[in-house]
Amino acid sequence: MSSPATAPPAPSNLKRIVAASLIGTTIEWYDFFLYGSAAALVFNKLFFPESDPLVGTLLSFLTYAVGFAARPLGALVFGHYGDRVGRKKLLVLSLLLMGGATFAIGLLPTHATIGSAAPVLLTVLRLVQGFALGGEWGGAVLLVSEHGDARRRGFWASWPQTGAPAGQLLATGVLSALTALLSDAAFTSWGWRIPFLLSGVLVIVGLWIRLSVDESPVFKAALAQAEQRKATTDQVERMPLVAVLRHHWRDVLIAMGARMAENISYYVITAFILVYATTSAGLSKQTALNAVLIASAVHFAVIPFWGALSDRIGRRPVYLIGAVGVGAWMFPFFALIDAKSFGSLLLAVTVGLVLHGAMYAPQAAFFSEMFATRMRYSGASIGAQFSSVAAGAPAPLIATALLADYGSSTPIALYVIAAALLTVVAIACARETRDRDLASVEAGPQGEDSNRDTRESSAADAPASA
């Protein structure tokens, strides 16, 4: 019989929680991706006009990468307080910070108006975005994972993951519509501000929905147990960060390695592609945006499928399908873009994102199942966000620099393949987590945990019973 903490919630309540996480993450990713698309399309002209076009794009992507640098700090701060006071309060704060920074970018004067202060202010606002997103992801996926039915955790927890393609879809869709309706001069002059200002409306909707959900029952039960232990034994809990590094250091390293191929491939496929398709392949900005738009819709649709498959065959096999698939697809990916047709570009991006979804979908449940409840927000966030500094942050920058130096896509393909190999090694070192109970997992010595799956426990007990 399930304990109260792990009993499946009412379907209507679970769907409301999933909707709250999905809408919130969609808004936050919309804000984050909007910057990336604008960095590739107009920020080089508006904030770095004294550079030649490719150098301006590099500088624009550099401010884009700064947002990733702030994500580990967000993971530490939000993870600490999320493990102390709860998931819900921190998710509300992250949404306010992200939405406020994005809205402010829409009001920001350009280099032509205030000179070098413009890129400085842009960088500061990008730092705020990164800080907020560093705390958003862990809380959103944990809120669903800790509410959800353990038997279908991979499926339910994959829905907040669809917030990434949904945000990409929304950001790219708005930009695509504006570039189609406005002339290049109008879009560069004022049209680019509209998607950023739209964030203010989206945040109001997201807050209304997020404030309506309950705190995670698994977290509330763990908090009550911790308070009871403190009252009876006068034992003070370690800081979540210290506890994670002591008991779950191995899992943090695995999570970081698992993120390399997922993170790098995504930003090459969705952000760098806007540069490569419009410069090397000679396709129009509108064509590239439309391809990413359609492919993001497919990406959104396949993520729950991959999440459900991870409930049937395990997190590791599905993740490996994605890592191996993305690595194998890189040379065909660039060859299709070089064919210089919309159909081949669409095929390249769509297949790439479908394979990426095989890594991204099980990631929420996989990382949640690695860590004990009172350090889960910290552990999942640190593992996910610290890797982004070495993975997603420099990916468009490195890809653009490789293109500038070699004038070829081959070094870029090899770069993604190397990341895929690193992820395969990390997943090979991981344990399968599908059968773990989030309510009972507790930290143990040497990075182990007390909740193994049934087969491991039976194997360990057999010699003693003999």
Query: Average per-residue pLDDT in the chain?
Result: 82
Model pLDDT for residues 27-43, shown as the tens digit of each residue: 878 877 787 778 767 77
Of 440 and 356, the structure prediction assigns the larger pLDDT to 356
What does each C-alpha distance from 178 to 146, 168, 192, 261, 297 come to in angstroms? 40, 15, 8, 32, 19
Of 253, 29, 254, residue with least CA distance to 132: 29
Is the per-residue pLDDT at 351 higher than 90?
yes
Over range 66-75, report the average pLDDT: 83
What band does 384 get if pLDDT is binned at 50, 70 and 90? confident
Of 256, 247, 248, residue with least CA distance to 427: 256
Residue in the structure block whose two tokens are 């008991």: 247
Over range 160-189, report the average pLDDT: 86
Instruction: Name, in order, each residue with C-beta under 8 angstroms of 367's C-beta and a sequence gap of 6 or more.
Output: 141, 255, 379, 380, 383, 384
pLDDT at residue 253 in the model: 93
Over range 74-88, report the average pLDDT: 84
Over range 91-104, report the average pLDDT: 88
Model pLDDT for residues 116-132, shown as the tens digit of each residue: 788 888 888 888 988 98
Tell me what percent of the residues of the chain surpass a pLDDT of 90.
Answer: 30
Over range 238-259, report the average pLDDT: 85
pLDDT at residue 50 in the model: 66
Angle between helices 153-161 and 285-313 (to 10 degrees): 160
Residue in the structure block whose two tokens are 């000179």: 115
Of 306 and 435, the structure prediction assigns the larger pLDDT to 306
What band does 459 get if pLDDT is binned at 50, 70 and 90? very low
